[in-house]
Structures are given as C-alpha cells and as structure tokens.
Amino acid sequence: MELRSTRRNYLKRGLVGAAGLALPLGALSGPIARIVSAESVESPRVERFSVPLPIPPVLEPVRTDDTTDYYELTQQEGTAEILPGLETSVWGYNGIFPGPTIEAQRGRPVVIRQRNELPVPVSTHLHGGMTPPESDGYPTDLILPIDGGSLSTYHEHASGPAWSFHRGSKEYTYPNEQRGTTLWYHDHRMDFTGPQVYKGLAGFYIIRDEIEDDLSLPDDEKDVPLMITDRTFKEDGSLFYPSLDPSLTGQPGVLPTFSNGMRGDTILVNGAPWPSMEVSNTRYRFRLLNASNARIYDLALDPSPPDGRSFVQVGSDGGLLEASLAHETIRISPAERFDVIVDFSHYPVGTQVTMKNMRGDGRTADILRFEIVREERDESTIPATLAPPQEFPDPEAAVATRRFQFLAGILGGMSTINMQTFDPARIDARPRLDSTELWEFSADPTHPIHMHLVHYKVISRDGGPPGPYDAGWKDTVFVPSGTVRVVAKFAGYRGKYVFHCHNLEHEDRMMMANFEVV
C-alpha cells in the first residue's frame, strides 16, 4: 500500500522531493528492493549470427467485404525461445513478438478488434497512422483486462473526462487514406508504455499503394521488415526491465538509473538475437524500424560496398522519397523507419556482410549478418523517380509557430515539455483543421520526437539545412541537443492527439503533451 501512496505524490508533478528522485527510495518495499540490486544484470551469452532471421507472419483477415478488411488480435502472454535453450515469457499480439504483420492497401480501411487477455490495461496506437482520434490509441483510452477489475484497480488517479475505457476489447478503424509506407502498431498505455512494449507489444503494419506497386523494387521474400530492439535477459531467460512495480498496476516508472531509458545488452531483430539471413547476390529491400525503448543506432555494413552506397534509401516514415538517397551509415532513433535497398551484387558469393551499430560497443555493436549464398538474376530496379513530387506543406503558409522544449531530469526527475509534465486534460496547442504550422522542437540532451496524426517535413536544424536523415515525410524526428523545425499541415481529423518523446522511459515519465485539431 505504500506504493499506492507514493503514486499520489508522483502525480503531484513537481512536488516530488528536492533530491532529484521521482520517489523516495526509502519508501520502497519488497519487489523494488530486489530490482535495485539487479541493475547490473547481464544477459546470458548467445553465439551471434547462429539463429536464422525470423519474419513475422502476415495476419489473415477474419472477414472481408467490398470495402473493408476485418482483423482480430488478442493481446496475451506467450512463450518464446528467444535465447537458444531458454524460455522467455512475452506479452504479444496473439502472444507473439513481434506481433503479426498487417498488410493494408491504400484506400481500403482496416478494422481491428483488439482483445485484452493481459493482466493490465492496454491501448493500441498505430504509429504513423492518420487515424481518427477515437481509434488512435490515446494513452488514457484503455482496454481493460477481459476478466479484471475496474479502471481504478490499475490507475488509481484515473478520473475525469480525459479517461475512458472499454471492457475486454475495442475496435480500431484505420482508413488507410495515406501513402503506402511502413507503420507499426504498439502499446500506448498511460505511464506504462515502456514496459509493455518491452515485453513484446509491437508489430508491423504495412500500407501498399499503386505508385509503389508500379515500381520494380525488390518484393516478396526480398521485401523484408526488420524490427530492431534491444533487451536484457535474466539468467533464466526472462526479460529484465527495471520497473518500480513489476506488476505494472501500481507505481509507474523505472529505477532512477534507468530514467534516461532502458537499453538492453542483447540486440534482437524480429525478436531473434543477432540473427543471420541467407541472401542471393541481388538487391533486397529492408524496412528498418527501430522499436527499441531508448537506444539509437548508427547502422553500417561491414564490409561496406566499394562505392560506399551501403543503404540506398527509398522511403522514410511517411512513404517513398521522390528520389533515392545513398547513405554509408544510417542513424535511426526510436520509432523511426528507413526503407532501404541493399545491393548484394557488390559482393562475391560466399561473403558475409554484417550490419553493425557504430554507436554500440561489445555485443551492441552487431545487429545481424547476411550470408551471400547464391547467385541469382536480379529483376529489380531502383528507378530514378520513385514517387511524384510531393506537396509538402509550405512554410510560408504557416499561420502559427509553436516552440516546444524537451527537457529531461528536472522537476524531481521528470521529463518535461515546456517545463510541464503530461496531463491528459490539458491542451497545449490548438491548430485549426487544414492549417499549416511551424513547430520548433528543442531538446536537451537528445530526444526522438513524435507527433500523432500528421506527417511533417523537417525544414531546418539549428537554423541550417535539414540533416541527411531528414528526407521525405517524417512522423518522428531525432533532436540531439539543439533545435529542429518542422512544417506540418493538420489535415484529416479534428480531435485530441498526443505528441511526445519516443524514448519510452521519457514518455512514461510524462514527456508528452496534447494538441487538439479544431
């Protein structure tokens, strides 16, 4: 019960102790005392590149009609053999991690019934989706456990019109009126997104469209989604996460040493540790997604091809670029996607090419390995023009400029936007429907910043031009110390949406705010 009472203090944002901690550690009892001593957990060793790369299964609709595809997903506990020879319990969509991939077609709506058989509330967000507010997975629009207690069992402070709940299941409608691109769906429960995504609640959602279908980019088994995450495991194979309350029903948050993010020592791609993939000496398309809670990667190939064009980027968060863009390395912060072509014809058959993380050290310096095992004729091309010229919103047409400063570790250890912590009832910006605005994000130290509903265009960094990873439409932008300006048009739907830091531990420590399209 002590936990419940400190919870109340925690919510009186800013009223927490001057010691810089979000909670008085002296008040912690049993389970927390145990994790305090587990801060230095090291995962069991795994032989790298020994597990084949898994591809998440594509979900079949339960029903389709003239206009719409209907799906059902059950969020439930499952068991996975992630580390060879050990069992890991995960929370997954249909019990698997990553969840099944949803394949959608532009212009054809998808309806997903989400059933919650987990012991905690959930909310499911389609990241990058242009989604009506009631289907956006708002953090306090919860699906309660199918056979659990009331809202206050899980969120003691939940009250007022900013909170709503559904018992056991909820239907989400995705219009798919947006460009073809790689989206992902993941948990977004108030205060507990970090641990719930970490336990496995994340999957791909791919929208295809005619523009893309008409290109001859690598497809079928050469169009490969890669979900990169990092996790730490305990000796018995279970996941280690530094929750203050591992039941995820009381005190939210993590141990103070992890308040800048949980970074694991084991890199998983599509849920497998440092996997390996056999390829032919042809082009492959990789849909890179960083679904890690907090880790940023600098991806590179080793050896890199002679011309240095390791990754030819064809798409960003919001779909195809107008023209491809070559990178020797790609920096990818949490929630970003890069759609890239890797051309293995640069290498002789028999070569092993490792995707490295130049920001990592030791085990986290490796991601996965490609083994070029056969020759094959390549039918694919990378056309000079990928997509018609985009109608990016015009900065000149902006009717407002808003500035948001993302600061972590103040107000007693909280993460803030403009010195305020998240309050689901407070609206921080009211853009008009169909209006264009400039939003300026400044960050200290570094934050990946995500807006729901809109895709935006990065127009400057620290007053200079956008960076090499800012091309195309973005919904998440990495802001290292400094300032990034984006231009967005608030089209689609009226209603309340969040924007936030996608370092999930920052998000859970309240680095989130509301905008309402009016």
CA proximity to 109, closest of 73, 64, 75, 141:
64
Q: Which is nearer to ligand C2O, 53 or 477 (CB)?
A: 477
Q: Which is nearer to ligand C2O, 327 or 474 (CB)?
A: 474
Shortest Å, Cβ 450 to ligand C2O: 5
Secondary structure letter of residue 429 according to DSSP:
B
Question: Under the rule (CB under 5 A), what is the footprint of Cu ion?
Answer: 447, 501, 503, 506
* Contact of 382 with 420, CB cutoff 8 Å: no
Q: Which is nearer to Cu ion, 357 or 416 (CB)?
A: 416
Shortest Å, Cβ 184 to ligand C2O: 7
Q: Which is nearer to ligand C2O, 136 or 209 (CB)?
A: 136
Residue 501 interacting entry, from Cu ion, ligand C2O, none, C-beta within 5 to 8 Å by type? Cu ion
Does the protein bind ligand C2O through residue 155 (CB under 6 A)?
A: no
CA distance 220 to 223: 5
β-strand partners of 205: 102, 183
3-state secondary structure 51-104: CECCCCCECCCCEECCCCEEEEEEEEEEEECCCCCCCEEEEEECCECCEEEEEE
CA distance 483 to 387: 29
* Contact of 447 with 501, CB cutoff 8 Å: yes
Q: Which is nearer to Cu ion, 374 or 403 (CB)?
A: 403
Neighbours of 111 (CB within 10 A): 17
Angle at 121 between CA 510 and CA 145, to 5 degrees: 175
Q: Which is nearer to Cu ion, 144 or 335 (CB)?
A: 335
CA distance 329 to 326: 9
Does the protein bind ligand C2O through residue 332 (CB under 6 A)?
A: no
Residue 335 interacting entry, from Cu ion, ligand C2O, none, C-beta within 5 to 8 Å by type? ligand C2O
With contacts defined by CB under 6 A, name the span among 50-58, 150-158, 341-349, 495-503 that binds ligand C2O: 495-503
* Contact of 264 with 305, CB cutoff 8 Å: no
Q: Which is nearer to Cu ion, 121 or 252 (CB)?
A: 252
Q: Which is nearer to Cu ion, 206 or 501 (CB)?
A: 501
* Contact of 262 with 241, CB cutoff 8 Å: yes
Does the protein bind ligand C2O through residue 125 (CB under 6 A)?
A: yes
Does the protein bind ligand C2O through residue 335 (CB under 6 A)?
A: yes
Element (H, E) at 221: none
Residue 503 interacting entry, from ligand C2O, Cu ion, none, C-beta within 5 to 8 Å by type? Cu ion
Shortest Å, Cβ 126 to ligand C2O: 9
Q: Which is nearer to ligand C2O, 279 or 454 (CB)?
A: 454
Secondary structure letter of residue 304 according to DSSP:
P
Binding-site member from 188, 285, 363, 509 for ligand C2O (CB under 6 A): 188
Shortest Å, Cβ 343 to ligand C2O: 30
CA distance 201 to 90: 8
Chain-centre distance for alpha carbon 109: 22
With contacts defined by CB under 6 A, name the span among 19-27, 52-60, 413-421, 497-505 that binds ligand C2O: 497-505
Shortest Å, Cβ 409 to Cu ion: 10
Secondary structure letter of residue 212 according to DSSP:
H
Burial label, 58 (beta-carbon count in 10 A; 0-12, 13-18, 19+): exposed
Q: Which is nearer to ligand C2O, 180 or 334 (CB)?
A: 334
* Contact of 453 with 514, CB cutoff 8 Å: no
Does the protein bind ligand C2O through residue 244 (CB under 6 A)?
A: no
Does the protein bind ligand C2O through residue 283 (CB under 6 A)?
A: no
Chain-centre distance for alpha carbon 141: 19
CA distance 261 to 506: 7
Residue 506 interacting entry, from Cu ion, ligand C2O, none, C-beta within 5 to 8 Å by type? Cu ion
* Amino acid, single-letter form, for residue 505: E
Does the protein bind ligand C2O through residue 186 (CB under 6 A)?
A: yes
Q: How far apart are the two ends of the chain, measured CA to CA in Å?
A: 42
Does the protein bind ligand C2O through residue 337 (CB under 6 A)?
A: no
Shortest Å, Cβ 326 to ligand C2O: 28
Q: Which is nearer to ligand C2O, 125 or 506 (CB)?
A: 125
Binding-site member from 7, 106, 127, 496 for ligand C2O (CB under 6 A): 127
Shortest Å, Cβ 61 to ligand C2O: 24
Does the protein bind ligand C2O through residue 506 (CB under 6 A)?
A: no
Contacts of 427 (CB under 8 A, 6+ apart): 496, 514, 515, 516
Residue 447 interacting entry, from ligand C2O, Cu ion, none, C-beta within 5 to 8 Å by type? Cu ion
Residue 125 interacting entry, from ligand C2O, Cu ion, none, C-beta within 5 to 8 Å by type? ligand C2O
Residue 331 interacting entry, from ligand C2O, Cu ion, none, C-beta within 5 to 8 Å by type? none
Contacts of 7 (CB under 8 A, 6+ apart): 156, 157, 250, 251, 252
Residue 231 interacting entry, from ligand C2O, Cu ion, none, C-beta within 5 to 8 Å by type? none
* Structure tokens that stand for 201 in this block: 């609640």
Residues lying near ligand C2O in the complex (CB under 6 A) are found at 125, 127, 186, 188, 335, 450, 452, 498, 500, 502
